[in-house]
Structure 1
């Protein structure tokens, strides 16, 4: 049977089969994915595309490279719903209505005794979600055109809250809308990375028990992330947070014209092996962690290629930078790539050594994830762990 001839149910089940083969899901989440028709929320999209494990844009952004709204990758949707652990009868708040597909899944999961409220700041997106939810029979879902950072207090307290946009901070307004022991799943951003974090409220603290790599369109209204060029040609850029002591003006035009220092770690990886944990672990102890972007023009001029040219983990101090690189070595065919650091600037040698130390620490405990807590900025700072102070909250990380 061709893709064009396959029915919605056949394509949907095939997609879910692929998802659960890679990541087993709770039975209720799997059932919801097999039940809710994604194409109802993607009018004009053909069935094979609707049931491909990829994001689908529904509103482009004329002022930036990322869309204003899209249907998230189905496997990521499944992962986050699994993290959220919805129970029948839950009262759920979703930040970012998108196509309405995720709200339809939440409606299926919480059942007739529960409630789903979804909010989006964009008028067109909110209208799209309302229209498709009505079309698919999920008209019980409440849709609000509103700034999600304010929430929807009139329908709280919520036992579950999920964000479907990248959030840099946890807004103060949400605390009063969460029930005791509420479960929260957020694509949280810090130091240029995004992690889907599942947390449970314990008094005035949210404590995480699940951390997964993810990627989402950033929420409108939070501007804690900064981007700056490190040379006049704007071919090397850094992406960092407003709380960091980073001064891009400390770099001069000669920084990237001088050969770099290259220092290799003891750690090797295979071609499909993830090393994102290097970044995560470094953010739990080092305020210099950010991301570097090296454009094709910079690479052509001789700047050393980072492990990921678009945005690789880096350390920045004064007018010096060290960033993650990979070098192919044939000595170990199972893990042919060796991780290391390339560094520029007056302190390049010591900065490269510091980054290699992070790599080696990660390598000794590759599967480890940190304990993560979120607390309000008005509350006392935690006694233990490494704290990152944002505009409205504190993020505390601690590796056991």
Structure 2
């Protein structure tokens, strides 16, 4: 299909917006300026295809989250930069989506490269196949396949990228990526999601970049749990190895609250999700709290810093989570970060959270290093750091000194 000058302008404006906030390697910028996202989103207003937002392409009849989405373009660009595709690469993509990301990958690897994209949903796979054919990327291989199994018949891959949320690195993937190859995936632990860039060194994955993101979870992984409190108006999202007991927490919001405040302040433009990330590198009580609009309206719980997703420490019959308030005495009107605790040990947990806030506040750009090891790796062979147990792997997080 022919392009139009108006769509060219819209696409270039979107790319200009993205690179103004995050410079990109020239090949990735050129691919974003070349591939037409609107042709991968039929039925959507063409101008809307060039806004920096996600688009649902298939609803999920079994839950609130979509079954498949076209990711936010700036997130697509960020993950491509993490992956760093090169001409001639052989890449596996897990989560075909609209086929747009596979088209970008095809541009980046060139005629000598290979792209395989897989999706468990037949409708999504068909949508991607038709869009890729329509836009001139017939050489991209599209397979209807359980992403957790990968595509071993076309392995090894020099790079792999997942465009769905993963709670663990599936065991079948370990041998499908070539030694020295790169894996980028949205990985969930302790209630948060980070796009992690990993390189395989023998039987170990080693990270070199972590970026905040959010993705529809892959079908088939069930390592994350949700515990509902206050008649379902407050929810805790935690991992299966964390002993969060709804019976012990049933009356937690009926107890007096305690507030503590750190000396750490943030501007309105500054993200503070690094507190959560740093906390996971030393503290197994940290997970995510979600306080609904109903709970806020009924004043069931003190408002978290971000009601839908804030870090919370949970232990036994007590919890403490992140709060914030505008400091009117601050000439820059920054927000002061603190903690609110509930339950018998709420004060102690709030104190622990203040320590996490303070540690982040003194080194805000420091990010933990992650290594991922096969699940049967003995303790003696793991590096020094904080171990988080998964089903197929053991993650080790280390905070730089």
| TM band (smaller chain) | over 0.9
Cα deviation digits, residues 272-304 of structure 1 (max 9, x gap): 211000000000000000111112222233321
Aligned mate of 2:343, from 319, 331, 345: 345
Measure the CA separation in 1 of the matches of 2:97 and 2:119. 7
Q: Which residue does 1:336 correspond to in 2?
A: 334
1:163 Cα shift? 0.4
**1:1-400 matches, cutoff 5 A:** 7-231=6-230, 233-253=231-251, 255-302=252-299, 303-381=301-379, 382-400=382-400
Cα displacement (A) at 1:380: 2.7
Q: What is the CA–CA distance in structure 2 between the aligned matches of 1:335 and 1:80, rounded to whole Å?
A: 33
Cα deviation for residue 245 of structure 1 reads 2.3
The 3-state SS of whatever aligns with 2:193 is strand
Q: CA deviation at 1:93?
A: 0.2
Q: Distance in 2 between matches of 1:333 and 1:235?
A: 37
Query: Residues 39-68 of structure 1: CA distance to partner in whole angstroms, max 9, x if unpaired?
Result: 111111122101111111111112211111
Q: Is the 8 A contact 1:38 1:51 kept in 2?
A: yes
Q: Would the aligned equivalents of 2:207 and 2:369 in 1 still touch at CA under 8 Å?
A: yes
Q: Mean alpha-carbon deviation: is it higher for 305-314 or for 161-170?
A: 305-314
Gaps of at least 5 residues in structure 2 are none
Are the equivalent residues in 1 in contact too, given 2:326–2:333 (CA < 8 A)? no
List structure 1 runs of 4+ shifted beyond 6 angstroms. none
Measure how far apart 1:6 and its partner are.
5.8
CA offsets, 1:151-206, max 9 Å, x none? 00000100000000000000110111111100110111111111011111101111
- Find the aligned partners of 1:151 and 1:198 in 2 and give their Cα distance: 18
CA-based RMSD of the aligned residues comes to 1.1
Task: After TM superposition, give the deviation of residue 37 of structure 1 in Å.
Answer: 0.8
> Residue by residue, what CA displacement relative to the aligned partner does 1:286-343 show, whole Å, maximum 9, x if unpaired?
0000111112222233321111111210000001000000022112132521100011
1:145 Cα offset (Å):
0.4
- TM-score (ref. length: structure 2): 0.96
Structure 2 distance, partners of 1:294, 1:91, is: 44
CA distance in 2, matches of 1:65, 1:157: 36
Deviations 1:365-395 (A, max 9, x none): 0110111111111223413111101010111
Alpha-carbon distance between aligned partners in 1 of 2:235 and 2:82, rounded to the nearest angstrom: 34
- More displaced 10-residue stretch of structure 1: 93-102 or 295-304: 295-304
Q: Cα offset for 1:222?
A: 0.3
Q: Give the conservation status (yes or no) of the 8 Å contact 1:268–1:335.
A: no
Q: Hey, what's the Cα distance between the residues in 2 that align with 1:66 and 1:6?
A: 36
Q: Secondary structure at the residue paired with 1:65?
A: coil
- Aligned-pair distance for 1:249? 1.6
The question of whether the paired residues in 1 share the 8 Å contact of 2:53 and 2:73 is answered with yes
Whether the aligned pair in 2 keeps the contact of 1:269 and 1:335 (CA below 8 Å) is: no
1:185 and 1:14 map into 2 onto residues whose CA distance is: 27
